[in-house]
Amino acid sequence: VTESLSDGEQWCLLAFNSEEDLVLMTSHGRLFIIDIILERAKDKVELRDYVLNPGNSNIIADAKLENGSNTLVFRTADYNFFWVSNVVSGLQALPQPSAFKTIPRFATVEKDADVQFIVLARQESQSKKIELFITDPSEGFHLVKENASHIYYRYQRELDMEEDDDEDELDSEPKRFGRVKYMALNAKKDMVAMYCEPETTGLMFVMKANMQ
């Protein structure tokens, strides 16, 4: 059904879209949409233009498909994030990737660092934009929205600073999230859970997905 992989190429995505077609993608940006009943490829495309700067890697390290909205999000080995909307087979060609704003902090991150992300689709987010929750290799997490700058959260009180009128609480030592190991969205996509500091305290946080 698919073509053979070239040297160094690996599969980085296997997922179903909303039409129950199988979506596969390789680390070199080749994307296949497969009809599992007819056992044939309905569409295939080679993604391009996802190298932001000269010298950046074009190797895709991780990818996720939000199958309710058919939104594909992937990151390269240089920790640049991109999205492709409406990954379904149809009369129109699949769109090429669009880039999220870069996260300057990731410019010095090692290539094999543990960076996880989860996707909140446009119709599920309060901003009506694609949103990403991205773990930071050291501590905390980043919230990135399409066509907008990211916000870096390290301290718990950053989530409700505007609503906190307790001066004693503000003057106390701020509580850090620590290193976030795992993240998950609930079925309604309005809450996010994070498991932090797995090697030490093993703290679990649950918060509203709109950060309010």
Read out DSSP for 90-122? SSSPPPPPEEPPP-GGGGGS-TT----EEEE-G
Look up the pTM and report it: 0.86
Q: pLDDT for 130-166, tens place per residue?
A: 999 999 999 999 999 999 888 999 987 766 544 444 4
Q: pLDDT for 24-65, tens place per residue?
A: 999 999 999 999 998 888 998 999 888 887 778 889 999 999
Q: pLDDT for 60-78, tens place per residue?
A: 999 999 988 999 999 999 9
pLDDT in the model for residue 153:
93
CA distance 83 to 67: 13
Mean pLDDT of the chain: 87
CB 110 within 8 A of CB 194: no
CA distance 203 to 196: 5
CB 153 within 8 A of CB 166: no
Burial of residue 9, with CB atoms counted within 10 A of its CB: 0-12 exposed, 13-18 middle, 19 or more buried: middle
